[in-house]
């Protein structure tokens, strides 16, 4: 069975600080996909990034960066120079197997950025 763990339930930072969200996953598959989603107070989950298990190259998109470490089964997410608009719940998710797009989500990490 697959499992996604986000050990940090809530992180509070002051604007312009960096914040790193941890994600650890368990899977028996060699081929799988990892995702990060953002859920602002409005409710909808917003897709941020997708990474396949064969691509360990780290990625940067603006103030966001992702560190995929297959050896430790982790897919961590860093927000650099955080802003108030980054306040949201962030979810890590895992998709595996041949049975279609069934995501397993972590419990989410609430990020509160204070001005």
Partner 1 sequence: ETGVTQTPRHLVMGMTNKKSLKCEQHLGHNAMYWYKQSAKKPLELMFVYSLEERVENNSVPSRFSPECPNSSHLFLHLHTLQPEDSALYLCASSQGTERNSPLHFGNGTRLTVT
Binding site for partner 1 (CB under 8 A): 4, 32-33, 35, 37, 42-47, 50, 52, 91, 95-97, 100-108
Q: What's the min distance (Å) between Cβ of 52 and partner 1?
A: 7
Q: What's the min distance (Å) between Cβ of 110 and partner 1?
A: 12
Nearer to partner 1, 25 or 82 (CB): 25
Residue 62 CB contacts under 8 Å (≥ 6 apart), including other chains: none
SS3 86: helix
Nearer to partner 1, 6 or 82 (CB): 6
Nearer to partner 1, 68 or 82 (CB): 68
Q: What's the min distance (Å) between Cβ of 63 and partner 1?
A: 20
Instruction: Dig out the tokens for 104 from the structure.
Output: 């397993």
SS3 75: strand
Nearer to partner 1, 91 or 111 (CB): 91
Residue 105 CB contacts under 8 Å (≥ 6 apart), including other chains: 4, 91, 92, 93
Q: What's the min distance (Å) between Cβ of 14 and partner 1?
A: 27
């Amino acid at each position: 069975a697959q499992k996604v763990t986000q050990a940090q339930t809530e992180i509070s930072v002051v604007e312009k600080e960096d914040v790193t969200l941890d994600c650890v996953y368990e899977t028996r598959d060699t081929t799988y996909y990892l995702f990060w989603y953002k859920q602002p107070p409005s409710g909808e989950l917003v897709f941020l990034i997708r990474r396949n298990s064969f691509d360990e190259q780290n990625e940067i998109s603006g103030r966001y960066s992702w560190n995929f470490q297959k050896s430790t089964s982790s897919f961590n997410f860093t927000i650099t120079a955080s802003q108030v608009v980054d306040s949201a719940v962030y979810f890590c998710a895992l998709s595996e197997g041949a049975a279609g797009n069934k995501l397993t989500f972590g419990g989410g990490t609430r990020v509160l950025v204070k001005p």
